[in-house]
Amino acid sequence: MPAEHETQTAPVGLLEELDESGPLVGILVGSESDLEAMDPALAELRERGISHELKVLSAHRNPRGVAEYASTAQLRGVRVLIAGAGMAAALPGVVAAYSDLPVIGVPLRSSKSVADGLDALLAIVQMPPGVPVACVSVDGSRNAAILAARILAQGGGYPQTPSLESS
């Protein structure tokens, strides 16, 4: 029986499934209405030649879809996740709960926001200990992409071990 701290080691079968050909950055937004706010991130990644994908998946409206995406992203070769959401912005936190990849949250402002996006900012920043989410400014998707690029630049040291929780 392995000690509890050893359970993060992936079984051999999972490591063999690692697909290095997938996009390096996975971007999620909680709603179609969030898409425009992520344009600066897409432009930044495009300019830097960093492969990426963008999906609309809501933590509240499609929690199973978010769980499925987040828990399989690392096996598909994704190395950093960016999640943008507004209002009760649970998406980045839920993604971080299902993946060991670094997660960058982008609080988004919408017409229904409280205090110009303060609601989403607090929802993303106030993660419980043990489930980290990096957070950029409200509508700061360009910084999220730049931060993702800097994380990727550390590449050599990044452990490619999918967690058992994520499988």
Separation between Cα atoms, residue 125 and residue 28, nearest integer Å: 17
Polymer length of the chain: 167
In the list 78, 97, 108, 121, the residue contacting ligand RP5 (rule: CB under 6 A) is 108
Q: How many residues bind ligand RP5 (CB under 6 A)?
A: 11
30 near ligand RP5, rule: CB under 6 A: yes
Q: Which is nearer to ligand RP5, 34 or 100 (CB)?
A: 34
Q: Which is nearer to ligand RP5, 59 or 147 (CB)?
A: 59
85 near ligand RP5, rule: CB under 6 A: yes
List CB contacts of 98: < 8 A, sequence separation 6 or more: 66, 67, 70, 71, 165, 166
From the list 2-10, 69-77, 80-88, 128-136, the region that binds ligand RP5 by CB under 6 A is 80-88
Q: Which residues of 119-131 are buried (b: 16+ CB within 10 A; e: fewer)?
A: bbbebbeebeeee
